[in-house]
Amino acid sequence: MKRKILLNINDEDYEVEIDPNRLLVDVIREDIGLTGTKKGCEIGVCGACTVLMDGKLVSSCLMLAIYAAGKKITTIEGLFKNGELHPLQKAFLDYGSFQCGFCTPGMVLASKAILEENPHPTEHEIREGLNGNLCRCTGYAKVVEAIQAVAGK
């Protein structure tokens, strides 16, 4: 039985009518059309579908959309505010922290969560925090550099 729920994504309200078996990643991508959130593994291990829910990192591929009702969701599209890149987005550009770009939305959001919890992390803490956000292109070195650069500021 379909249900009407209200999703708050990037500070905008979206009313969607969905079945309980719908996953958050599919509703965000297919119903709302925010395709920055990617589907990589569909079992919660690759991090491509990472979004922030009430400020916390979650895998939207392992989350019933209904669970997101009434929560504040941030996707990669939400980081670009009034014409300005988020400092992490800027750093990812300047340090070449991505190649194919498919893991990048999740990687940027994970980096954001790491810094919000710990503004001055050690390299080890950064790498541990990125654990489970898979990238096959960069070897992570330049992702770590970008995060360190932002933390250093």
Residues 35-74 that bind another protein (CB under 8 A): 35-48, 50, 53, 56-59, 62-64, 66-67
Supply the minimum distance, in Å, between the C-beta of residue 82 and another protein: 13
Map residues 123-152 to x or -, x wherever contact with another protein holds by CB under 8 A: xx-xxxxxxxxxxxxxxxxxxx--------
b or e along 91-126 (b: 16 or more beta carbons within 10 Å of the residue's beta carbon)? Answer: bbeebebbeeebbbbbbbbbbbbbbeeeeebeeeeb
Question: Whole-angstrom distance between the N-terminal and C-terminal Cα of the chain?
Answer: 51
- Residue 125 CB-half CA count within 13 A: 13
Where do we find the tokens 């309200």? 13
Supply the minimum distance, in Å, between the C-beta of residue 125 and another protein: 10
Task: Give the containing element (helix H, strand E) for 93.
Answer: helix 87-94
Pick the binder of another protein from 6, 11, 12, 20 (CB under 8 A): 20
Pick the binder of another protein from 7, 9, 25, 34 (CB under 8 A): 34
Site for another protein contains 85 (CB under 8 A): yes
Site for another protein contains 96 (CB under 8 A): yes
Site for another protein contains 93 (CB under 8 A): yes
Supply the minimum distance, in Å, between the C-beta of residue 73 and another protein: 13
Supply the minimum distance, in Å, between the C-beta of residue 147 and another protein: 10
Site for another protein contains 116 (CB under 8 A): no
Angular region, 47: left φ>0, alpha ψ -120 to 50, beta rest: left
What whole-number distance in Å separates Cα of residue 136 and Cα of residue 123? 20
Angular region, 44: left φ>0, alpha ψ -120 to 50, beta rest: left
Supply the minimum distance, in Å, between the C-beta of residue 126 and another protein: 7
The smaller minimum CB distance to another protein, of residues 8 and 44, is found at: 44
